[in-house]
Structure formats: C-alpha cells, structure tokens
Structure 1
Amino acid sequence: MRCIAGSWDLIIPSELLQEILSRLVLKDNLHASLVCKTWCEASVSVRKLQPWLLYPALEESSGTCSHYILFDPLGFQTHQQRFPELKDHELCYSRDGWLVVRNGYPSVFFLNPFTRERINLPWGWSPEFSSYYCLAFSAAPTSSSCVVISLKQIWCHDYLFIHTWLPGETVWTPHRFENQLRPQRKWTQCVFSNGMFYWLSACGYLGVFDPSRATWNVLQVKPCPANFVRPMLMTEHEGNIFVMYKCGRSYQPVFKLNLERKVWEEKRELGGLTVFSSYSTPLTRAGPSAEEKNMLYERLGSSYYLANDKSLFVPLGVHVGFRRIALVDPPQLVKL
C-alpha cells in the first residue's frame, strides 16, 4: 500500500485518505483540498460535482438558436457558448459528460459540450427507425463499454423495434421483439444500470434489454404502485432504481426497486441522494451538501429549482422546449 505525506508530517495511506475524503459533502471536500497539494489531488479525485445545466440563451429561445448557456451551480456562473450543431435538434440523453442529440431522421450524434467533441452515429436505414424513437446509452462514446440503444414502438403494433450501435460500427444492429404489453402501453423512460437498459412503461411495468445477449423481457415484478396519471421520472444510483413524482412540494413517496425480493418498496425519502431532473436524463448523486440531501431539482414550466426554492437555474422568462434543456456531468477541471 502506497503512503503519502501530508503537510503536518503525517503519513496516511493514499487509499485511506481517499476513502475519508469521499465521505465529505462538496463544501467540506473543497475545504480539504486547501490543506496541501497532496490533499488537493486526493480531494479532486473523489469529488462529487453537481451536474451543469445546458439551455438556450434568452435572446434566442425561439427554437432555432445556436447559442446556449452552460450554468455551473457550484460557482453560480454562466458560460455562453455557440453550438451551431444544436440548431433545431433535441437533447435526448445525458451520461458521463456526453449528450446524444437528434433531429428526427437521420441526424444522430454525440456531443461533449465541455470539449466540443462530436461523434456522428450512422444513419438509420429502416422505416421503423425514421419516425419517433427513444435513445439512450450506457457510457461515454470514448469508452469500450459504450452501447447506444434506440427503442421504437409503433402504435397498436405487436412488436418492439430495438436498434443498437457500438463504437466503431458503421451500421445499427436491428432487433425485433414481441411486445408483451398491450400495444397502447408505451415504454417512455430508460436508465442503464447493472449492465442492463431498464425501460419504464406508462403503466408501471419495467422492460429490460440485455445488450450482451440481445434479449428483451418484461421484469417479473408487479407494476410500480405510483399514480401514473401524474408526471413521473425514473432514475438510478449505484445499481438502485427509483421512481418518483416530478412535481409537488408536500410529502411525495419514492419507490425503490428491490430486485432480490422483486417488489417496489415505498420510501419516505431519497436516502441522502439528490435528484436533478430533466427531460434528457434525471441524474442522481449523493447529496452535494447536507442541506441538499433528499432533494429533487425539478423542472416546472421553464424553470428549474430546488424543492426548497433556494436555487433558480433557468432565468424566469426563458420559454424553451423541454427537449432543448439538459443536465450534463462536468469534468473535474472545466476549461471553457
């Protein structure tokens, strides 16, 4: 075990120091990073940053703008950037600092808003791919574990159409599965967890796509007992899947999936987690601060706010489509 020396001539094993610092909330982590160079490096390596918010600039919120704002909630700073490639496009999914973006058919690509790196995906080729479909991915496109999935469900059709893509491939791989629910019951939200893509239906069922085996099944669990007449969101954190209501300031139950018992368990709080909600992907993190534990950052109208009204994200008056707003994980060192 390698040891590192602190500024007080203390010898602390590096693994132990990182374990201690990883348990600190963000504010205390920042304070610890000021102790010395060694503590700074260890603090940065385990720091849990809040996701940044990407949204169209106020003066160009008509729907065809190319100027966007990147908002840093930690420093409460805004950075205006020009993204011509986002004009008339939708932000579909966010993970590991990357967005997958689309403009109907056939324009689909990855974008890293911090490095401005763009990776184009192959054009679709089938009629099923050319109309409405949902997109998700498992990891950054620079990772060997990246899998991109599109799910297309045709109204009143007995089949689901799933296409997958891996980095380096020049075409999408098509899959067709029997729709085990009534065709009118749509699959609406997706999270990647424990190597699987989980899709939540509009009536509380979970569909599971295993990319390693190219299989699709409806999980043998009773539907989530939430009231799906109301807006819902699904999110995951370290292998746990949660379903919760998007809006409401009074007590709102949270439903956690227990895969071992194959039941949904109702919880009164998030277990110290903070959920950042957006159309593209809800991002869930361990509470950045003690005050923000068990909180839900919500999107209501055109504004994002913390449940206790402490932090406004999108300025009031910015009226943009919800498909053009996304939360993105920043790198440890941001250079804009």
Structure 2
Amino acid sequence: MEEYSSDEDDWEHRFEEKEIGKVEEEDPKEEDEGNKRDWAGLPIELLSEMLTHLQLPQTRFSFHKVCKYWDSIQDPKHHSPLIFPTLQSQWLLHKDTYHGTVCKFFHPFYPDRFAIDDVPDLNKAVLMHSNNGWLLIARRSLRNNPKIDLFWDWQNSLFFINPFTKERVDLPEADFLGDWKSATFVSDPTSPDCKVFGVVSFTDTFVRFETIRRGEAEWVRHSFEDIPTIFQSNCHPVFHNQKLYCLGRHGEMGVFEFDPDDEESKKWTIHEVLGSPPEEETFESYLVECEGELLAVFLSFMGEKISVVRLDEERMEWMKVESLGDFMVFISLPTSFARKKMVDGMENKIYFPRLSGDYTVFYCLATKTYRTFGNKFCQKDLYETREQLNCCWTEPTSRTYTSPQQLHWFPQHE
C-alpha cells in the first residue's frame, strides 16, 4: 500500500478524495485469474496481527480505509506501547459525577480508555491539582463547631490520593469559612520537600493564601485586603522561581512572594502586563511553565479566538508564540503543564479537556485548527465538542513502594 505523510494536514484528506475498494496484486509470471491475490480475503487473525504493529493513529486510519472487510477488524487493545498505569505518560483524568468513585482516563494520542473503579475518597470530592501521579482533593462537609457562634459550619479539608494505588495522605484541617478557589503543590506528598499553596476566595476586595509544608501541623495564613480578587483566573497558580504566580482573567499577573521562615516578609503584587488580550475577548485563561518560562493560553468563548503568549518577566509584557517546537501543552483548570513530545506528531499542539466523539481535542499551532488524532474533526472553534468537568491532566508514574510512615504528614511518624 502507498505510504502517506503523518502530517495531520495530509493523511485524512487524501482518503476523503477517493474510496479504496479492493487492492489486487498479480503474479508477474502468471497471467490467469487463478493467481490473483485478493487482500480482502486475508485471514482475520493475520489482519489483527498487522494492526498490533501499527502505532500511529494515521496508519490505523489508512488500514481501515482499504475496504469494508478491513474496516470491520477491531483495533486490538494491546496495539500501543503504553503499559498503563506504570509507564509515565499524559492522561486526562475524569471524575464523571460529584458522588462518583470512578476515575476515567483518556489518552490524547492513542485510542486507549481506562477506568479505575471504587476509589471511595473521590466521593463528594473536587479535583484541585495533580503532580507526580498524586491528586490534591478538596472536600467540603458540614460539622459541629463549638468554637464559633454558629453551631454548625463548613469543614474545608484538603488531602492527597494516589488513584492508582488508592493511597492517601491527609493534611491538617484549614480553619476558614470560605472556599478553596485554587491550589497547587510542589514535590511528591510523601517527600519531605512537599509544599502546598491554596488560594481562598471571600469577597471581591480580599485575597488570602494558605500555605503549609510537610511536617507542619497548621496552615500559615497570608491575608491581603483592598486588593481586587476579580483579576484571578480560575486556573491553578504556578510556583516559578520561588514565587507563586496567579494569572489574571485578562492577562494581569499576581505575584506572591514570601519567606516560609519569616511571616513578615510576605508580599503580594499585581502587575498590569503589556500585550494582554482585550477583556471582551477573554473567556478562559491558563498559565503553564515551559523550559523555565511562563506561557499563557487565552481563549474567547468556545475557542473562536486563541492566543498563546510568553511572559517577558523583565518588561512584564506578553510576547506572541508562533510555535511550541517539540513541546506539547496540556491545559485544564486544576493542572496545566508542558512536556517534550513522546511520539512524532504530538508536538506543537495544545491539548484540551474536551472530546470529539471518543477522541481528545487539540489545537495545532501549525494549521491553526482544532483537531483530534482519531476522527475527521477539524474546526476553527470548539463547538460540537464535550467539555469534561471535574477533570485534570495527570502523569502516572511507575509504581514504587511507599512505606506506611511516608503516608503520614508529620515527620515524627516517619
């Protein structure tokens, strides 16, 4: 069969132009009809074996376009080189309902789908952030609190779970009446270097950060009054160059500096960043660290306009990004990150927490269109795609032994 380019501009359109019916090959030494070989007559076992060696979605698409018989051969589940969940890769984790206890995983490149059933800690939980295969979870519950005038109040708890091993690390309770707006953490929660940063939302003129390090029994509060919180994007903050960066909805940047050993050293600054997109054109915004620099992705409603920019920290100016090179960017409200390509064809794209059919949607900076690797979806916007709520991008790591002592937050238990 003819070989086709793996470029997403070429491979699917070539097959739209013509329908390949039956491919025949003649033995040059024999002219009679009896020596013709009909590819549609190959045994199903042989065709299935062929599919196991086709790794790229483009080549599998070509396989199924040969004829109706070939199209009826189901893709074997072991076609991809991924060994889930032990091999590190990027997956979209989706918790389908508020009361659900099932994790569903979608791979952006391979048509693999996985589910981990019965993770009780996910019940009534909200995904806040993911790092090193761990999830930071928020849960709000009603409790009896005699310390305040109200007999009942809401308990806002944060804890870590590893959905692959179902291990859990509990954090000390945070005592406040508001809600966790966003959060992030640094290092594995079983590591002594783990730090958690939470943003609490109260009113439009007040912002507060809650921070804690592994081994600490109480959260450290950093409050700032008369500072508008309306600038805050719903995306998670990013810890960069020992500072916490919070992206504004319209391109502003809030920078939180503090010395964990000196409460008086805290400093919160809002920067008006040059080159920000117009306010009326920004519906969603995401912040990502890539190769030591901060990138932002701004979208208008349903992605009709999209802007990818890099922060010039010296001038506090957004610079337009034309290409990501070999990098991929994965965005979601709880977790966004950039990685170098793992497979040819995945680079220079932004992957969304959205599906078209059963396939993950991405934006290609080369073609300036939204596409998938598995079907004919190709648009200038995100209409007719399904947003996955309460989801985040995650990178499962190889299973390693975790001692019971490591699952305790306090060092005296280690």
- Cα distance, 1:98–1:278 mapped onto 2, change above 3 Å: same
Among 254, 258, 261, the alignment partner of 2:308 is: 254
Q: C-alpha distance in 2, partners of 1:330/1:286?
A: 16
Match of 2:94 in 1: 55
CA drift of 1:111 comes to 1.2
The answer to whether structure 1 residue 185 and structure 2 residue 239 are counterparts is no
- Cα distance, 1:291–1:254 mapped onto 2, change above 3 Å: same
- Cα distance, 1:202–1:241 mapped onto 2, change above 3 Å: same
Among 129, 133, 137, the alignment partner of 2:185 is: 137
**Alpha-carbon displacement from aligned partner over 1:19-51 (angstroms, at most 9, x marks no partner):** xxxxxxxx9xxxxxxxxxxxxxxxxxxxx9431
Among 256, 264, 281, the alignment partner of 1:209 is: 256
Unaligned runs of 5+ in 2: 1-54, 56-86, 141-154, 364-370, 376-383, 402-414
CA drift of 1:160 comes to 1.8
The letter of the residue matching 1:202 is R
Unaligned runs of 5+ in 1: 1-26, 28-47
What TM-score, normalized to structure 2? 0.59
Among 121, 131, 135, the alignment partner of 2:171 is: 121
Partner secondary structure for residue 234 of structure 2: strand
Partner secondary structure for residue 117 of structure 2: strand
- Cα distance, 1:136–1:224 mapped onto 2, change above 3 Å: farther
- Cα distance, 1:117–1:300 mapped onto 2, change above 3 Å: same
CA drift of 1:109 comes to 0.4
- Cα distance, 1:237–1:83 mapped onto 2, change above 3 Å: same
**Alpha-carbon displacement from aligned partner over 1:153-201 (angstroms, at most 9, x marks no partner):** 32232x3211111111111111112454x45433533112222221012
8 Å CA contact 2:182–2:334 kept in 1: the answer is no
Q: C-alpha distance in 1, partners of 2:326/2:313?
A: 21
Match of 1:168 in 2: 215
The answer to whether structure 1 residue 93 and structure 2 residue 139 are counterparts is no
- Equivalenced residues, count: 276
CA drift of 1:333 comes to 5.6
Match of 1:39 in 2: none
What TM-score, normalized to structure 1? 0.71
Partner secondary structure for residue 319 of structure 2: strand
Q: C-alpha distance in 2, partners of 1:72/1:300?
A: 12
Among 259, 266, 273, the alignment partner of 1:222 is: 273
8 Å CA contact 1:253–1:268 kept in 2: the answer is no
Q: In percent, how many aligned pairs have the same letter?
A: 23
8 Å CA contact 2:354–2:386 kept in 1: the answer is no
8 Å CA contact 1:70–1:81 kept in 2: the answer is no
Match of 1:309 in 2: 372
Q: C-alpha distance in 2, partners of 1:276/1:98?
A: 17
Higher-Rg structure is 2
8 Å CA contact 1:299–1:305 kept in 2: the answer is yes
Cα RMSD (Å): 3.2
- Cα distance, 1:288–1:211 mapped onto 2, change above 3 Å: farther
